[in-house]
Amino acid sequence: MNRTIVTLAAVQLLVGCGVPKAQLDAKALEAENYRRQYGDESEKVKALQARVAELESGQKDQAKADEALTASEARVQELQKKVEMLTALNASLAQSKDTLEKARAELEKKSEQYESLASSLKDEIKAGKIELSELKGRMVVKMKDKILFSSGSVKINPEGQAALAKVAEALKDVTGKLVRVEGHTDDVPTDPKGPFPSNWELSTTRALTVLKLLQDKGVSADKLSAVGYGEHHPISTNKTTQGKSLNRRIEIVLAPEDQAPGAKPRSASR
């Protein structure tokens, strides 16, 4: 711009000095060219300045984008680790569940002897006179005392005799098992002046009575044993009438023969 002003001033000076018009026109054209060049250059400078500003802004935006990207990648890695941990945990839980299912199936697996006994006693089981269970090869025939005995008595009722006859018939064919008759009572004390000073004597006498009937019906004596637990192994509360009724019971337990007194322990496998 300074150069253009100087040129115009020179033109005016030449006019004052009587310079020919053609020469003046040439100088004026030259001045106009300089003015246009200046305008063009000014526009270019503005464009460059705008571009520089744009680039600077873009660099700032890029820096922010890079920072956000870095944070996002870190978050993705963190989430990926959590996914891997959860995947491993799910696999472990699935394996544990499978192991537990197999263990439960093994525990609940019923033996052929159980199935045979259940079939022989199905009518008594259906009528609620007998409950049959098996766990780890240990079978239990459970009978409520009211089916077998009158209150305070050790004489087996006719209904109980019939049920025990069916049990004895089923047990005669069972092999490899001991038959242990267990007597249980509730926690109501017996009359100390009566025939049974405590529930120990009552439960034991009832167990022996059942044992003798089973023997009379054909169960081998060398398989049989009896024990009385009194009130000390309840299966329900003694605070209710129903609970007391459940606790008064006879259980006929079928256990492996190697648990017999004097039985030789199984040799450890090498």
Please spell the DSSP secondary structure of 7-75, one letter per residue: HHHHHHHHHHTT--HHHHHHHHHHHHHHHHHHHHHHHHHHHHHHHHHHHHHHHHHHHHHHHHHHHHHHH
pLDDT by residue (tens digit) across 85-103?
A: 888 888 888 888 877 777 6
Residue 107 has pLDDT above 60, yes or no: no
Residue 4 has pLDDT above 60, yes or no: no
pTM over 0.75: no
Length, in residues, of the chain: 270
Encoded amino acid at 196, one letter: F
pLDDT by residue (tens digit) across 13-57?
A: 555 555 566 776 777 777 777 777 777 777 777 777 787 777 777
Lowest pLDDT segment from 88-97, 184-193, 213-222: 88-97
Encoded amino acid at 148, one letter: L
pLDDT value for 192:
84
pLDDT value for 22:
74
How far does CA 36 lie from the centroid of its chain?
A: 85
pLDDT value for 10:
56
Classify the C-alpha dihedral 187-193-195-198 as positive or negative.
positive
Q: Which residue has the higher pLDDT, 92 or 225?
A: 225
Residue 73 has pLDDT above 90, yes or no: no
Residue 63 has pLDDT above 80, yes or no: no
Residue 145 to residue 118: CA distance in whole angstroms = 20
Residue 266 has pLDDT above 70, yes or no: no
pLDDT value for 221:
92
pLDDT value for 68:
75
pLDDT value for 81:
83
